[in-house]
Amino acid sequence: MTSQRRRPGRPRHIAYGGDASPRDQILDAAARLFVERSFAATSTREIADAVGIRQASLYYHFANKDEILAELLKRSVRPTVDKIAKIEQLVPPETHETALYLLALVDVRTLATARHNIGVLSRLPDVTNSAAFAEFRDDRAELVEAYGRLGGSIAPATIVDLVGQKRLGEMLVQVVDTVINIRSGGDPAGPRTAEAVATTCLRICGSDDHKILAASAAAAQLLEAFHDEPI
């Protein structure tokens, strides 16, 4: 009886740990390729080759490239959105500065600790023109609303009347998004960057040094409640 020789699989371009599921391996390879080469310039065959699987195996997990993109975009914003309610529950109602500071810290953590700089994908023209962008747009609108609500509760009426609560939320989200630029420049965007971003958010809302220091200290303690939660 002769034994059948197995055909060697494709060599993997990325080394994965044993705990990474095939789906996560596909997402990781796609994130790297999308960030490095752009969404439009990357094919599903190239993603499959990077993982070391056949293209047909990739389609078992994702129907098309847009589904992969939609999941990556979701992972750049949804982890923060899912924590908004918990943040507001942890922070006493009268200390909105702490809630906003903590939200910014959590948001920076979402963008800074992703294996690849997936936040940059939302800025690419070939991504914003994709149907997969719609769900991300809804998630981001929810995040903007939370920033606007918290910022509006801190800022003086003159600021809120001038720009409106929604625009204020957009401004605060843009401050946090500077982490994307920092990562694109090769810097890690660590804890000091997170503190600077959160402080800037409070400054925009008119908070003074005393309130910022108090919010920083309180938020640092509350952040421990999120350390074991997935990104």
- Domain extents in the chain: 22-63, 73-226
Look at residues 222, 183, 188 and name the one whose alpha carbon lies nearest to residue 100.
222
> Which residue has tokens 């939660």?
229
Task: Provide mean pLDDT across the span 7-23.
Answer: 59
Tell me which amino acid residue 106 is: V
Closest to 44 (Cα-Cα) out of 28, 26, 70, 32: 26
Per-residue pLDDT tens digits for 128-165: 888 889 999 999 999 999 999 999 999 999 999 999 99
> Does residue 62 contact residue 20 with C-beta atoms inside 8 Å?
no
Written as six digits, the tokens of 36 are 């490095």
Element (H, E) at 73: helix 65-81
pLDDT of residue 104: 98
Q: Other CB atoms closer than 10 Å to residue 81's CB: what's the count?
A: 19
> Mean pLDDT, the chain, as a whole number?
90
- In 3D, which of 83, 81, 76, 77 has the Cα closest to residue 219? 83
Q: How confident is the model at residue 54 (pLDDT cuts 50, 70, 90)?
A: very high
pLDDT at position 20, please? 79
CB atoms within 10 A of CB 219: 26
pLDDT for the residue numbered 56: 96
Q: CB–CB of 54/48 below 8 Å?
A: yes
CATH 3.40.50.11890 fits 22-63, yes or no: no
pTM, full prediction: 0.88
DSSP 8-class letter at 60: H
**Could you tell me which residues come within 8 angstroms of residue 166 by beta carbon, excluding any fewer than 6 positions away?**
144, 145, 148
- Please name the residue ranges forming H helices in 82-155: 84-90, 96-112, 125-128, 133-154
Q: Is 181 exposed, middle or buried (0-12, 13-18, 19+ CB in 10 A)?
A: middle
In contact, 68 and 47? CB cutoff 8 Å: yes
Rounded Cα gap, residues 227 and 231, in angstroms: 9
